[in-house]
Chains A and B, each alone.
Chain A
Amino acid sequence: AQSVTQLDSQVPVFEEAPVELRCNYSSSVSVYLFWYVQYPNQGLQLLLKYLSGSTLVKGINGFEAEFNKSQTSFHLRKPSVHISDTAEYFCAVSDSGTYKYIFGTGTRLKVLA
């Protein structure tokens, strides 16, 4: 069965510093990968997704992620974070042809002034 691992439960980082949030998934022939963000007391919203094509995916709010098939990873990066990026970030994977997402356990990004 497909699984997703987010290695860091919390990541504190200073404002304007770069950040990387890690995500690894179990191997599969064909997967679709997503990053969602959840601001406090809100629902999830999509940051970016990888379905096919270029392995470097750009999303909203200056975030990007790189799909690495050999390492089964889809790490999320931002070169310079803002206080407003403080939120919970979820990686999700979906096998081709299925309706189901498998979410990781989330990484809490805390941006410090």
Chain B
Amino acid sequence: DTAVSQTPKYLVTQMGNDKSIKCEQNLGHDTMYWYKQDSKKFLKIMFSYNNKELIINETVPNRFSPKSPDKAHLNLHINSLELGDSAVYFCASSLFSGVQETQYFGPGTRLLVL
């Protein structure tokens, strides 16, 4: 059973398009995250939701909008895609109990903007 799943796995699109990436976890976790990993493997947190509430919102262009319809899902919508958005986007989830616990990562979505 896949714990954290992301769709699509690969996404190739033109500049200016709008696209969405979906994430689902079946671990019963209450906190979900989006990370961006660039070509140099640097991992940067973008957003985090706890119980459907936004709790981390890093310096990210407002073309990126997360949405959490329930605790098990966290989607990422990107408007007006730019070349610099090309990266691997990882979703992760964890159970927060006052102590930061292990984060479980999805397999990643490889986005290429042409």
Interface residues of A, Cβ cutoff 8 Å to B: 32, 34, 36, 38, 41-46, 49, 51, 88, 90, 94, 96-101, 103, 105-106, 108
Contacts and interface: CB of A to CB of B under 8 A. Distances in A.
A99 B108 contact: no
B100 interface: yes
Interface in B21-72: 31, 40-45, 48, 50, 55-56
Contacts of A32: 99-100
A41 B40 CA distance: 14
Interface size class of B (residues with CB under 8 A): 20 to 34
B105 A45 contact: yes
Contact of B45 (A41, A90, A101): A101
A99 B56 contact: yes
Contact of B100 (A99, A103, A106): A99
A46 B3 CA distance: 14
B48 A99 contact: yes
10 contacts: A42-B107, A43-B4, A43-B92, A46-B104, A96-B99, A98-B100, A105-B42, A106-B42, A106-B43, A108-B41
